[in-house]
Structure 1
Amino acid sequence: MFVRTVYATGDPAKVDTAIRALNSQGRELLEERPGYRGAGIFVDRELGKLLAASWWESEDARRNSDEVMRERRGALLEPFAATTAVENYEAAVFHQIRQPEAGGGLRITRLEFDPMDADLLAETFRASVVPRLDALSGLARAVLLIDRERGRGLVGTTFTDRGSLAASRGPQASARHEGAAKAHVTVIGLEEFEVVYADVRGN
């Protein structure tokens, strides 16, 4: 699968307006597009950060959908978004135990790597990291998203509740350290979000 992420920051007091628009009009627009496989909305209400992700069965489906969403995105995110960044990824690993639910937690780890090591990263995550994540209480989903050309990636681990997210910080730090060393990646960011909505039809 292929993924488009929209990362917006703004006034925390206005974030619910954007959530309502994305969760209604935004989802309706996405569901009309060929190749749509699901979406997620995640928020940090305290700092005023919103992460939206849409999932597509092919790179062409993702690209074609962006023609429509590019025109509507600004209006959907008003008046919350002061900054918006859009990125595209390949879902190198999609490991789902159960469908995440509203009120759960998402941890995002941002990565940089040599583009020549993209396959090494995917195999390391699949063979070494996922088994360790599976042992974490409350894990719902673990994904690795990569941009092979730019050498950028995201690891997303979603938990059924915020307590499980908090309890996983130490164990996942250990798995992250080991995986980063094996796959020759640099961790450049670590963030946590509340799950507003997350529904993806996997492979």
Structure 2
Amino acid sequence: MFARTTTIQGNPDSVDAGIAHVRDVVLPAVTAMEGCIGMSLLVDRESGRAIATTAWESEAAMASSAQQVLPLRDGAQEIMGASTSEVDMWELAVAHRDHAAPEGACARITWLSGYPDAERVIDVYRMTVLPHIQELAGFCSATMMLNRETGRAVGTAVFENRQQLEASREDSRRIRERSAPEMGAMIDDVAEMELAVAHLHVPEMA
């Protein structure tokens, strides 16, 4: 499985319009493309940052959709008041869902880089990180994606609501600070965002 993320730094006042556009226009168009297995949208209402993720059955399916999604990306940028977006390609390495995310769900995203061994990152996430975060109150699901060429990885944990996400901060900090050295990776960034669109139908890969 593979995934494409598109990060848009938009206007906070345009977040609701952006969510509606992705839900009503982008989601139906993308999920109708061959090989697409779903889409999600994370948003930060305070900063205007939005991250759209599409999942694909194969790297070839993801690559073949690149030109088709360009006008959809341009439209989302315009509605959200942004002139550019950042696009990243990932291998979807680990996915586990305890239960579907309800309305109001939120996610913590952790970006890593600099690891020497991709398989080590996957093993540590699967055997060390996932067993701990799935015990946290309100846990819904988790994914870990990486790019072997750039040496970057990103882990996402979804919780039922904002309160549970915030309550898990300290435990999550301890988990990542313990696991990053095991991976040989550096923690680049951590963000907490609202899961505004949750249609990423990725099969269990834990």
Bin the TM-score by the shorter chain.
over 0.9
1:92 maps to 93
**Are the aligned partners of 1:101 and 1:195 in contact in 2 as well (CA < 8 Å)?**
no
Deviations 1:90-119 (A, max 9, x none): 1111011112233111111011023x4110
- Please say if 1:76 is aligned against 2:70: no
Aligned residue-pair number: 202
* Alignment of structure 1 residues 1-203 onto 2, 5 Å: 1-80=1-80, 81-114=82-115, 116-203=116-203
Report deviation, 1:63.
Answer: 1.1
TM-score by length of 1: 0.95
Equivalent-residue separation in structure 2 for 1:16 and 1:46 (angstroms): 12
Structure 1, unmatched stretches of 5+, are none
Report deviation, 1:150.
Answer: 0.4
TM-score by length of 2: 0.94
**Are the aligned partners of 1:22 and 1:77 in contact in 2 as well (CA < 8 Å)?**
no
RMSD: 1.2
**Are the aligned partners of 1:124 and 1:183 in contact in 2 as well (CA < 8 Å)?**
yes
Letter in 1 for 2:117: D
Deviations 1:104-143 (A, max 9, x none): 11111011023x4110000010011111111101111111
Letter in 2 for 1:90: E
Equivalent-residue separation in structure 1 for 2:5 and 2:101 (angstroms): 18
Structure 1 runs of 4+ off > 6 angstroms? Answer: none
Equivalent-residue separation in structure 2 for 1:173 and 1:102 (angstroms): 25
Equivalent-residue separation in structure 2 for 1:82 and 1:20 (angstroms): 19
**Which has the larger share of strand?**
1
**Are the aligned partners of 2:141 and 2:159 in contact in 1 as well (CA < 8 Å)?**
yes
**Are the aligned partners of 2:43 and 2:195 in contact in 1 as well (CA < 8 Å)?**
yes
Structure 2, unmatched stretches of 5+, are none
Deviations 1:14-35 (A, max 9, x none): 1222211111110111121111
